[in-house]
């Protein structure tokens, strides 16, 4: 069963610097669970077919112009009908005037009334993107997320295989840490996964023999990021001499996370291998593949061999 997520209205207010015209109770207690929003022009004119009362309602210049053409009594009836639906919040854009009838209805039905200085289209676009990310399906996995040459690399593997040590070496080489130990993965869209760290462990790494270190304090603010798109998944595993590892890279390996297909690699670990350099090359090679270049395919063509690449997809639960 899919889990439903919520975001506090206070976070929306703070993020978009909204002016609070009326707030009936603690803004931290009002929770938004729908990432769709509604421009309420049709409802203010009396049309409620397919209306979803769980959406934040937006009123802009067009709605304001219409409301000016009707009487105060009609405005009061229209606002009463809309606010009686129990909407989570009502936002007026462009710093437009707040009608007295609007404020009265908000107080009568205890609906948060807010105002934004931004244009309606800009505010709606930003709010939809914000809600889509905050309310996105998500999972948390043990691993490390780091940005390497602009590629978001999710490093997985058994405990003690060297994920954090590799991450600290990559940070020292100028790349940026996003999360260590616990990576929160959100499905931002049907083709995009975004990873971040839980707030309470952000920027911290655990290094066996040393303990807990703070990457931001050790290497500076330029060594960390809050979130990053996941472009490639790398599985580190102890070298198994009986296992045959991919030496050509002709086949394209993918792992499916939350329904999104992401390129993946399995890197064997043994003493003497410089994992930081290997992962840097993996990031650059993944970037080249996205741009349409495959070194293995070019080599096969130069050798006169006609080999087709196969896609190998693994489901990740």
Residue 290 designated active-site: no
Tokens standing for residue 5: 């997520």
Closest CA relative to residue 175, chosen from 195, 152, 156: 152
Q: Is 246 helix (H, G, I), strand (E, B) or coil?
A: coil
CA 270/CA 204 separation, integer angstroms: 26
One of 163, 186, 203, 289 is an active-site residue; which one? 163
In this structure, what is the dihedral angle of CA atoms 14, 4, 316, 257, given to the nearest 10 degrees? -40
One of 52, 61, 107, 142 is an active-site residue; which one? 142
**For residue 87, how far is the Cα from the chain centroid?**
26
- Characterize the bridge pairing of strands 192-196 and 176-189: antiparallel
Q: What is the DSSP string of 57-114?
A: EEE-HHHHHHHHTS-HHHHHHHHHHHHTT--S-EEE-TT----HHHHHHHHHHT--EE
Using alpha carbons, list the distances in angstroms from residue 154 to 57, 185, 281.
38, 10, 15
Greatest Cα pair distance in the chain = 83
One of 181, 202, 229, 287 is an active-site residue; which one? 181
Residue 225 designated active-site: no
On whether the CB atoms of residues 200 and 194 are closer than 8 A, the answer is no
Residue 181 designated active-site: yes
CA 303/CA 293 separation, integer angstroms: 17
CA 12/CA 129 separation, integer angstroms: 12
Using alpha carbons, list the distances in angstroms from residue 301 to 204, 250, 290, 293.
46, 12, 19, 13
Q: Is 49 helix (H, G, I), strand (E, B) or coil?
A: coil
One of 247, 270, 302, 311 is an active-site residue; which one? 247
Residue 27 designated active-site: no
Catalytic site positions: 142, 163, 181, 247
């Amino acid at each position: 069963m899919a889990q439903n997520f919520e975001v506090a209205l206070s976070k929306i207010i703070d993020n978009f610097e909204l002016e609070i015209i009326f707030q009936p109770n603690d803004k931290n207690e009002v929770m938004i669970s729908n990432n769709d929003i509604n421009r309420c022009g049709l409802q203010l004119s009396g049309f409620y077919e397919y209306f979803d009362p769980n959406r934040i309602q937006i009123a802009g210049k067009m709605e304001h112009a219409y409301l000016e053409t009707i009487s105060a009594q009609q405005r009061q009836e229209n606002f009463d009908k809309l606010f009686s639906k129990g909407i989570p919040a009502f936002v007026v854009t462009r710093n437009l005037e707040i009608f007295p009838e609007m404020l009265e209805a908000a107080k009568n039905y205890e609906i948060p009334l807010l105002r934004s200085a931004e244009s309606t289209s800009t505010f709606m676009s930003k709010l939809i993107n914000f809600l889509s990310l905050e309310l996105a399906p998500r999972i948390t996995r043990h691993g490390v997320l780091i940005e390497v040459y602009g590629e978001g690399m999710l490093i997985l593997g058994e405990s003690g295989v060297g994920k954090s040590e590799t991450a600290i070496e990559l940070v020292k080489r100028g790349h940026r840490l996003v999360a260590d130990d616990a990576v929160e993965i959100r499905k931002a869209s049907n083709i995009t996964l975004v990873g971040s760290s839980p707030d309470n462990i952000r920027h911290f790494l655990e290094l066996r023999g040393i303990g807990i270190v703070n990457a931001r304090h050790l290497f500076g603010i330029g060594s960390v990021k809050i979130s990053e798109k996941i472009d490639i998944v790398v599985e580190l595993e102890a070298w198994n001499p009986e296992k045959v590892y991919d030496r050509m890279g002709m086949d394209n390996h993918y792992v499916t996370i939350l329904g999104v297909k992401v390129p993946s690699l399995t890197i064997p670990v043994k003493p003497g291998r410089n994992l930081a350099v290997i992962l840097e090359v993996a990031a650059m090679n993944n970037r080249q593949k996205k741009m349409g270049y495959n070194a293995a395919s070019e080599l096969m063509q130069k050798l006169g061999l006609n080999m087709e690449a196969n896609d190998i997809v693994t489901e990740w639960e």
